[in-house]
Each structure stands twice: as structure tokens, then as C-alpha cells.
Amino acid sequence: MSPDRNRNYNFDWISILIYILLVGFGWVNILSASHNGEVTSYFDINQPFGKQSIFIILSIVLIVLILSIEAKFYERFSSIIYILSIVSLVGLFLFGKTVSGATSWYGIGGFTIQPSEFAKVATSLAVAKYISDLQTNIKLFKDQVRLFAIICIPAILILLQNDAGSTIVYSAFFFVLYREGLPQLYLLVAVILILVSVLTLKFGILSAVLITATVILLSHFFGTKKRPSIFQPISIIILSIGLAFGVKFFYNSILQPHQQNRISLWLRLEKDQVKLEKMKKTILYNLNESEKAIGSGGFNGKGFMEGTRTTGKFVPEQHTDYIFSTVGEEWGFIGSALVVILFVLLILRILQRAELQKSQFSRVYGYAVASIFFIHFLINIGMVMGLIPTVGIPLPFLSYGGSGIFAYTLLLFIFIRLDSNRINEW
Amino acid sequence: MRPLLLLFSVIAVGLIFISRLFYLQVYNAPSENLFADNAIRKVFDYPKRGYIYDRNGKLLVSNQPSYDVMIIPREVEPLDTLEFCLLLKIDKAYFKKKYNKAYRYSPRLPSPFLSHLSKEDYAALQEKMRKFDGFYIQKRSLRDYRTPIGANVLGYIAEANPSQIKKNPYYRQGDLIGKQGIELSYEDELKGIKGIKFIQKDRFNRDIGPYKNGTRDTIPQQGKDITITIDSELQAYGEKLMQNKRGGIIAIEPATGEILSMISAPNYNPNLLVGRVRSKNFTKLYNDTISKPLFDRGLKAMYEPGSPFKTLIALAALQEGTIDPATTITCRGMYNYGGTKPMGCHCGNGNRDLLKGIAKSCNSYFADAFRKTIDMYPNAKEGMDVWSKHIKSFGLGNYLGYDLSIGDKGNIPDGDYYNKWYPDFRWGATTVISNAIGQGEVLVTPIQLANMTAAIANRGYFYTPHIIKKIEGQESIDKNFTIPKKTSIDSRHFEPVVQGLADVYKRGGTAAFLKVPGIEICGKTGTAENFTKINGKRVQLTDHSIFVAFAPKDNPKIAIAVFVENGYYGARWAGRISSLMIEKYLKGDVSLKYMEKLVLEKSLEEEYAKPYSGESFSINDGTKFNVIEIPTEQPTEDESGQE
């Protein structure tokens, strides 16, 4: 395909194909998970699947719009978009609508809008814009602080609205910053943070510190690179001790009981069988039911609209956050593995295209998109299958929700638009 | 390097997810089983249980509807227990007990709460049932016994117990299963197949419609009707004759092995074990350890056969060539074989050939024949083994393999048996001479004795006795019942023995006064000693009265064995009952009215009470020095008037 002739149509068709497959398959499963017996119309506005049909049509309009706008627009207006997004998040404190504890929605007519979904797009653009600025040097502490601020302002606003799940998504930007040259120290800190937290909660402070110290000292003495002073690892160990106490305090005093329970179940901390059985029926109900539903699908699945647990709506939120349980029950191992593979392919494809970009803005943005999809993919499917603690975030493209599908469409197609412009860039 | 972090993270997570999916859906997948799926409610539709007819097509067992209140504990909502208890006519303690029991079994599976409501209670309850969540009414069918006879043959059905449910998942808590008799043996044919409706539930346990539009539902398959070989009129008559007595009667059609009647006394009305009164009555019957009404004496009681066994002694001796019909001995009232005490004989002294030996039940004759048979071989073990093989070929000493509860093996000793008893091997024919007159170590059940009689009636073969005649009108029964089993005795040896058995009814025979006009019967009296322990002391009880017979002599239609416990000598009770049964079966009516009246009116209850009342038995009051066989003289004393 000659770049000259197809200048405006040089879109990444592989990404678009995967997008169509995921959205289409998502709709099929939403239909199965949300219908109540008779389906009169696929556009029945009173049913989730009907609404989703309309959202998909609107998404197509949105895609045409995104692709027809000049690529430079996104870079130029990224700051304004970011500010608008922050304003919309702040506005929630005044006009927001509270649904199941989180004040994350504006209600307009019969529809609701969730600004936190769109804030991901705005933050990605802002981060890309800031990093790609010629004056920015990510090795400098000053710039690191500003970047953290760009990422943390929306994250904290969302946390204050009591939507911890969406906040966690912002950890995706770590991958972006790391790719763009954030010092190794941060990775080390991140790894130690995760290691110490998990070890402390699972085995107690003493064991956690001992294990961490051993690992650090071993890597210090057997590392291939030039050996820094012995004080560096020792100070890290001292920090780890403090961190371990901090984690313990955070777990016991800051986290809410339901969050404690989720972590305690994930790390198998509860040893009392009777209590555990009771937990399985109450706080673990969703997970228990979703694992059962997925398991009951077997290799081939029970078939479209044939899932007994889906039909009986045994898994709460099965058309939104728990849509993967419907996939598992009705489409079996074949269908679920296909969804996993499509996600992996899509993310890898975006990464590959991002690395090809000549413009740093496009590359950073592409990286942000891939990272956000990855975190959603990791947390949502991991949660539904019981691999990580329960965190309520949707599965992109498959879960029901207008704001969600618009935001993920924006994320992906802005990148496709930027990517199509690659050859025109310098 | 830096771009690789995310790349590898994505690939790693993808692989972990696929492994987890594989674990959940393939490796650890629950088998695709609608029954295990708690999103689907299973509603059962119980089929009609097969009817049971007798050989003449008379309906013996049918069904009656019954209504059970079932409970699913998890679905029970707070309710007006007072009203509920009043409706069901139960008290609150019962409610609590049943609720807890059902909850322990399973909170989400149905358990019976109150079984077998009457139709009236059901009608009153049905309207109000919707008010009580978690309870529903399950219709089942119970048995309706059309006659009061044959409880031991027909058996009964009852709720399947947990181990049966575990063994066969077809049965669920509260289902009825055959536990005894025909109901047990032909459970698979009679039960039919339950119909099932699958109903989709939601997570609040509400029904939201048929699963897959009912395409997986099945309709119940009716149980098969079966016809059994019992002649209900003969059975009823036999039970009547056995009233006030204990024992068993087995009648077999020799040409087919079909069991014509199978009586165990005392008996009970099968309707006692139906419905709500079942458990109360069952406990009562079960706890009667003195008369043991639940003990099927026809199949399970083991007795020493006594004199009828002499026919087999004769047949084995004829086959081995140690005697021939003309062999004669002279009986002098005892048989002196060299033991400490000679074996007594009551045949009345004189020359005895085979026919006379049988007719007069001469102990000496058969002791001699037995001894000669064993002594023909170089050592006693070998002789005993050969003898034992002949006897066992008549179906004795092992399970017969009929289609009822397995019964008992009985015992026929062989060489090894005595080698174990006498470890120095110093035993011989004379050591075990009691076997010659059906005592000693020989044990048989009434059905084995009846089968032996049928084999003699057939002159050398028998069909395994069985109770099934037709299943759903089809005569295709187990092949084992339609193939004749040959005995190891050549048929030519039977004629003299059969003639001897016919002579039993002739002048001088032990059953001369039991003749039935117009029917030539072949039979043999018998008595068997028996003992019990009273206060730790071995006490001899009155002998069992035994009789075997078949008729007519040529082309026999019925072979019968009768045991009357503690009835004294064979002809007194068992012999009379045999004659009456044979006449009833062959003529349809009984002409021996006087004999019938005597049997019906005389009770043995007093006799049975003796071990408990401390009264002494005439048999061991010291007037007789031995107690082995009491044949001809005594019957003629008090029964000659009837002759």
C-alpha cells in the first residue's frame, strides 16, 4: 500500500478488527447476561443490551469523528482537554449522582455520564504532551514531580469520590514513565513496595524484612555491575523495615473492613474454616459464583443463551464488571481463552505501533493507551477468576456501559489516528 | 530494555490467565450434570409402580395415591407455625425436629417433612399450601394390597435409606424402594422411571421458567406389571391351615420349578406395612423375637430334615450299586452298629426290602444302606465325598439361587467336614451314621426340601424354584429358571423309590390314614429333634413335624414340603396339611372336612409357650430312652378312627 495514495486511510486495520471483535462479542454476552426471557428488539431502550446497541452505534459516529479530525489537534488541545476533564471531576462534588457508594456520575435524562472514564483519555494526552515537550527532562526531579501531579490530581479526585477501582487504573502510567526514562530507582522502589507489602501481610513483619534484606544483600554482592557503597543496600533495608510497619498500620487502621476482607481472602489469611465458609456466602459471594459459572462452562461452554447461571443471574453485575463470567459459562475455555488472546494481541499491537512512532507525543500516548488497557485487563479478569482481590473496574469493550465504551473508543482511536499520521511526521 | 517491561508483563499475564482458565474449565471442570447444578430445580413426577398378579391373573397388589409434605429448609420463610401445625395435625416439637433433620441432610435439597397424608388432609392443605414458602406437596403412590395373604412373598416398599441413595443416585431422599420379597427382587421392573422437569431458577431461588423450554424434561415411564407363580387361593388356604402354628409350607410345580405357594407362619397382613402406620407396625413385628413374624421360615429356617432324607440315602446307595430294590435286612427294633448305644427303630420289626423300608421308615434299613455306601470306598473321606456329591446334586447344602431373598445354605457334610471335626481322621461311616436318618449334621430349609421332592417327582431333575412368571405379559424370564438341572442319580433308580413313597400311604405305611380319595400321593413323614437353652441348660423340645409329598404319582403337578415347629411326629400336622394342600390344589375343593376341621382348630400355642412357662415336654420326661423316630404305632392309636 503506497503511503501517498492512501494517506488518510492508512489506519491500523489489525487493531480495528480486534476492536470490532471485542465489542461485538461483548454485546452478544451483554444480551445473554441481561435479557429477561423474551427479546422483543435488540434496540430496546429499557434493557442494557438495547442501550449498548445504541452506545455502539454512537461509538461508530465517534470513531468517524475522531479519525476525521486533524491528528495535530489532539496534541495541541491536550492541555485544554485535561483542564476540562479536571473541571468535570471537580463538578461531581457539586452535581454528582451517587450510585452504590461512589459519586462518579452526572445524570442527564435517562442516561448517566462517568467523567472518570474520560479522565483517563485526558490524562494520557496530558502526560504525552508534557513528556514530549522539548524542555522536559524526565531525569530531573522537578519534572518528575510535575508529571506525578498531572497523574495524581485526577486520581485523587476520583479516590475522593469513593471510586478506588478507577484510581488504581492510574498506576498504569508507571509503565509510561518508566519507558520514557524514569530512573531505575523507581522500579526498585515499586518492586520493594509490592514485595514488602505482600510479605508483611502474609508472613508478618519480621519474616518480610528478613526475606527482603536477603534479596537485597544477595543482589548487592552478586550483582554484575559496579558495586555501589554498602550503605545503599543497608539504607534500603532500614526503609523496608519502616515500610513494613507502615503497611501493617495501613492495613489495620486505614483500610475499610470490606477492603481488609478482600485482601485477607486473596492472601488466604483466614484460617478458620467456619468463618471462611461464612465469608464465601457473603463477601465472597460474587467471586464464588463467578468462579462456579466459569468452571461450569467447561471446554466448549454451554452455548449462547444456554448458561444456567447466567440465565438465573447468579453472578451480580454480570453484564458489567463480571461479564467475563458469562463468557466463561456460555463460551467455555475456547471463548474465554480467545478473549484473553485478543486482549494480549491488541495491547502488543499498540505497543509495537507506539515504538514505531517518530513523534514522541504519539509514542507516549500509545504507551499510555496500552498500559491502561493492560491494567484493566489484568485487574478485571484477574478479579473474576479469583487471582487478585476484588476491585470494581470494567473489562474494556466487553462490559456494559456508555461512558466506558466511549472512553475506550476514544483512547484507542485517537492513537489509531495519530498512528495513521506517522509518515507525515518528522 | 525499558520497552520490554510492559511487553513481558502482558505476555506473562496472558499466559497466567489462560492457565487459570484451563484449571477452572478443563482440569477442574465439574462434570456437566444438570442434577448437580443448583441453578436448575428438579421436579419429579413419580410413575405408577407395577402391579402384581398371581398365576391365575388375580390382582394381588396395586397402588393408592399418597401425599407427602416436602421441605426445602433454605427456602422456608417465617410462617405461622401454629396454623401450619394445626393443619398438619402435628405439634411444634415435631416441626422443630423435622426441620432440623432436613436442614442437616441438606439446606437446599427437598426432604420429606410429613409423609403419607390422607386424602382429606391433603384436600384441606392444598389450598393453603401457597402460604408456606419452602414447603410443597409431593404426590407419590403407595402400595395397596388387595388380599391379606403372602406378606412374606410380596414383601414391602419403604423409604430408601441413605446408603441406598448413595449407591444408586436414581433414588432421592423420600423415594420408595422395594425392601423385601418380590418388591425387592423385581424392584427394577416394578419401579418404572421417574419423570423430571427442569426449571430454571434465579439467584433468589425463584422459578423463572422451564429450562431450555422443557426440551430436556422427561415423562415418567410406568413400572412393569408382573405375574408371579403363586396360586393365591392355595396360598390363602395354606396360611389358614398354618394358623396357630409356626413353620413353613413350600409348594412347587415340578415340571417348571414355579413356586405355587410359600407360606411362613406366623404371618402378618401386608397392609400393616403401608403408609403412616408402617413404622409403628414394623417395630412391633420386628420386636416380636419369640414368634418372629418377619422371619421367612420357608426360605431361612434350617431344620434337620429327618426321615424324608432317607429317600436320598436310598437313591445314593442305588446309584453306587450298594443295594438294589431287592436287598433285604431284618430289623429287630434297633440297628447295632458298634456304638455305645444302638440306633433305635420303630418300624415294627421284620424283614425290610427297599419299598417296605421307605413305607415303614425303617431306621435300620437306611443306616445299613448308608454305611454300605460309605464303606465301599477305601477310606471314609472318599466315600463321604461321593455321597455328599450325590446329595448336593438335589440342590441341598448350597444356595438354590431363586429370585427371592437369598435364604440359607443348609448343610450337607462331606469328607473334609469330618476331617476337621476329627483331626486324627479316625472316623468312619458308623461315626456319622445319624446322617442316614436325616439327622446329625444334615440341615435343610423347607424350600430345599420341596425342591428335592420335585426332583424325585421328576425322576432325576429339577428346575430352580422361582416366583416370577411373566413380566409385562412377556414370558421371558431368567434362563437359569428354564434350564433343567440334572441330579447325579440315573432316572431308572427313581421308580422303586417313588413306589416306596406311594406305599407310605398304603396299609402299614406311616401315612396310611392321610390318603386323599382319587389322588395317588407319594410322600414321606419325618420328625426332627430340636433343642433350646433354658437357663443355660440344653433342653430337648418337642420334635418338629415334617412331611414331603408330591402328587399325582405319574405326571406330578405339585411337590410340597411342610414343616410344623414342635408339631411332634410327621404325620400328625405336616402330613395332614400336605394332604389338604394337595387336594385343594388338584381338585380345587377339599373333601377331607374332618381333617381340615382338626387342623384348623387345634392350636400349638400352648406348646410354644412351654419353654417360657416351665412346663415339661412329654418327649423328655424320661419315659423313652431314645427319641429319634416315632413313626407308625402312635399315629394308628389316635388317628385310626378316621381311616
* Same structural domain, B546 and B595: yes
What is the reported pLDDT for B90? 85
Predicted confidence (pLDDT) at residue B15 exceeds the cutoff of 80: yes
The CA-based dihedral angle spanning residues B99, B103, B104, B109, taken in that order and rounded to the nearest 10 degrees: 130
Three state DSSP letters for B500-525: HHHHCCCCCCCCHHHCECCECCEEEE
**Touching check for B1 and chain A: CB below 8 Å?**
no
The 10s digit of each residue's pLDDT in B391-441 is 999 989 888 888 888 788 888 888 888 888 887 777 888 888 888 888 888
> What residues pair up with B44 in beta bridges, in sequence order?
B196
Predicted confidence (pLDDT) at residue B200 exceeds the cutoff of 60: yes
Per cent of chain A over pLDDT 90 is: 47
Neighbours of A217 (CB within 10 A): 15
Whether residue B35 is contained in a domain is answered as no
* Same structural domain, B215 and B245: no
* Same structural domain, B494 and B594: yes
* Same structural domain, B529 and B510: yes
- Which residue is closest to B18 within chain A, CA to CA? A337
Residue type, B640: S
Enter the DSSP assignment of B137: E
Q: What are phi and psi of B303, to 5 degrees?
A: -130, 160
Whether residue B220 is contained in a domain is answered as yes
Predicted confidence (pLDDT) at residue B626 exceeds the cutoff of 70: no
Enumerate the H helices of A39-107 as residue ranges. Answer: 48-68, 72-76, 78-95
Enter the DSSP assignment of B617: P
Q: Total domain count for chain B?
A: 2
> What residues pair up with B329 in beta bridges, in sequence order?
B352
What is the reported pLDDT for B254? 93
pLDDT bracket for residue A223 (50, 70, 90): low
Q: How far is B105 from chain A (nearest CA, A)?
A: 18
Q: Alpha carbon A152 to chain centroid distance? A: 16
The 10s digit of each residue's pLDDT in A67-97 is 999 889 999 999 999 999 999 999 998 888 8
**Touching check for B215 and chain A: CB below 8 Å?**
no
Which H or E run contains A150?
Answer: helix A141-160
- Number of C-alpha atoms within 13 angstroms, CB side, residue B368? 20
* Same structural domain, B54 and B169: yes
What is the reported pLDDT for A168? 92
Residue type, B175: D
* Same structural domain, B575 and B591: yes
User: A152-156, B26-30, B624-628 — which is least confidently predicted?
Assistant: B624-628
CATH number for the domain spanning B339: value is 3.40.710.10
Residue with cell 389450598: B127
Residue type, A407: A
Higher pLDDT among residues B636 and A401, named by residue? A401
Enumerate the H helices of B342-401 as residue ranges. Answer: 354-359, 363-375, 380-392
Burial of B406 (0-12, 13-18, 19+ CB in 10 A): exposed
What is the reported pLDDT for B31? 63
First to last CA, chain B: 122
Residue span of the structural domain in which B410 resides: 232-276+296-642
C-alpha span between B325 and B492 (Å, rounded): 11
Residue type, B408: D
- Over residues B286-305, the mean pLDDT reads 85
Whether residue B8 is contained in a domain is answered as no
C-alpha span between B153 and B135 (Å, rounded): 37
User: A344-348, B264-268, B450-454, B626-630 — which is least confidently predicted?
Assistant: B626-630
- Over residues A184-199, the mean pLDDT reads 85
The answer to whether the Cβ–Cβ distance between B10 and A289 falls below 8 Å is: no
Whether residue B126 is contained in a domain is answered as yes
Using alpha carbons, list the distances in angstroms from residue B85 to A74, B80, B98, B122: 75, 9, 12, 14
C-alpha span between A329 and B291 (Å, rounded): 62
Higher pLDDT among residues A62 and A9, named by residue? A62
**Touching check for A382 and chain B: CB below 8 Å?**
yes
The 10s digit of each residue's pLDDT in A125-150 is 999 999 999 888 888 899 999 999 99
Q: Closest Cα to residue B590, out of B518, B503, B501, B510?
A: B518
The 10s digit of each residue's pLDDT in A294-310 is 888 888 888 888 887 88
Q: Are B546 and B560 in contact (CB under 8 A)?
A: no
Which H or E run contains B543?
Answer: strand B537-551
Neighbours of A249 (CB within 10 A): 10
Per cent of chain B over pLDDT 90 is: 19
What is the reported pLDDT for A382? 93
Q: Are strands B350-352 and B59-71 parallel, antiparallel or unpaired?
A: unpaired
Q: What are phi and psi of A11, to 5 degrees?
A: -85, 160
Q: Are B188 and B159 in contact (CB under 8 A)?
A: no
Q: Which of B171, B203, B228 represents a domain boundary (last residue)? A: B228
Q: Read out DSSP for A163-186?
A: -HHHHHHGGGHHHHHHHTT--HHH
Supply A246's cell numbers: 507502615
Query: Which distant-in-sequence residues (6+ apart) come within 8 Å of A319 by Cβ?
Result: A29, A30, A33, A34, A48, A49, A326, A399, A400
- Over residues B128-150, the mean pLDDT reads 84
Q: What are phi and psi of B552, to 5 degrees?
A: -70, 170
Of A296, A312, A382, the CB nearest to B202: A312
Burial of B197 (0-12, 13-18, 19+ CB in 10 A): middle
Higher pLDDT among residues B138 and B451, named by residue? B451
* Same structural domain, B323 and B213: no
Whether residue B3 is contained in a domain is answered as no
Query: What rounded mean pLDDT belongs to chain A?
Result: 87
Question: Where on the phi/psi map is residue B21: left (φ > 0), alpha (ψ -120 to 50), or beta?
Answer: alpha
The answer to whether the Cβ–Cβ distance between B37 and A175 falls below 8 Å is: no
C-alpha span between B101 and B448 (Å, rounded): 45
Is residue A389 reached through a cis peptide bond, with omega within 30 degrees of 0 on the bond before it?
A: no
The CA-based dihedral angle spanning residues A226, A231, A232, A237, taken in that order and rounded to the nearest 10 degrees: 130
Supply A57's cell numbers: 452505534
Judging contacts by C-beta atoms under 8 Å, the chain A residues touching residue B10 are 344, 347-348, 351, 370, 374
* Same structural domain, B270 and B368: yes
C-alpha span between B619 and B590 (Å, rounded): 33
CATH number for the domain spanning B152: value is 3.90.1310.10
Angle at A290 between CA A289 and CA A293, to 5 degrees: 85
What is the reported pLDDT for B197? 86
First to last CA, chain A: 20
* Same structural domain, B263 and B176: no
What is the reported pLDDT for B213? 73
The answer to whether the Cβ–Cβ distance between A37 and B200 falls below 8 Å is: no
pLDDT bracket for residue B111 (50, 70, 90): confident
Judging contacts by C-beta atoms under 8 Å, the chain A residues touching residue B30 are 295-296
Judging contacts by C-beta atoms under 8 Å, the chain A residues touching residue B13 are 344, 374, 377-378, 382
C-alpha span between A249 and A241 (Å, rounded): 13
Supply A423's cell numbers: 509518515
What is the reported pLDDT for A4? 46
The answer to whether the Cβ–Cβ distance between A374 and B13 falls below 8 Å is: yes
What is the reported pLDDT for A224? 59
Whether residue B285 is contained in a domain is answered as no
* Same structural domain, B598 and B487: yes
Predicted confidence (pLDDT) at residue A3 exceeds the cutoff of 60: no
Judging contacts by C-beta atoms under 8 Å, the chain A residues touching residue B28 are 295
Using alpha carbons, list the distances in angstroms from residue A352 to A179, A421, B7: 13, 16, 9
Query: Which distant-in-sequence residues (6+ apart) come within 8 Å of B643 by Cβ?
Result: B512, B513
Q: Are B229 and B55 in contact (CB under 8 A)?
A: yes
Predicted confidence (pLDDT) at residue B632 exceeds the cutoff of 50: no
C-alpha span between B354 and A199 (Å, rounded): 100
The answer to whether the Cβ–Cβ distance between A179 and B20 falls below 8 Å is: no
- Over residues B74-81, the mean pLDDT reads 79
Q: Closest Cα to residue A85, out of A426, A322, A411, A423?
A: A411
Per cent of chain B over pLDDT 70 is: 94
Whether residue B31 is contained in a domain is answered as no
Residue with cell 456466602: A281
The 10s digit of each residue's pLDDT in B533-575 is 777 777 778 888 899 999 898 899 999 999 998 887 777 888 8
The 10s digit of each residue's pLDDT in A364-422 is 999 999 999 999 999 999 999 988 888 889 999 999 988 999 999 999 999 999 998 87
Is residue B266 reached through a cis peptide bond, with omega within 30 degrees of 0 on the bond before it?
A: yes
Question: Which residues 127-186 of A are in CB contact (within 8 Å) with B?
Answer: 175, 178-179, 181
- Over residues A170-185, the mean pLDDT reads 90
* Same structural domain, B321 and B457: yes
What is the reported pLDDT for B525? 87
C-alpha span between B29 and A296 (Å, rounded): 6
Predicted confidence (pLDDT) at residue B628 exceeds the cutoff of 50: no
Residue with cell 463480571: A322
**Touching check for B290 and chain A: CB below 8 Å?**
no
Q: Which of B188, B212, B228 represents a domain boundary (last residue)? A: B228
Judging contacts by C-beta atoms under 8 Å, the chain A residues touching residue B4 are none
Supply A157's cell numbers: 479526585
* Same structural domain, B99 and B209: yes
Whether residue B9 is contained in a domain is answered as no
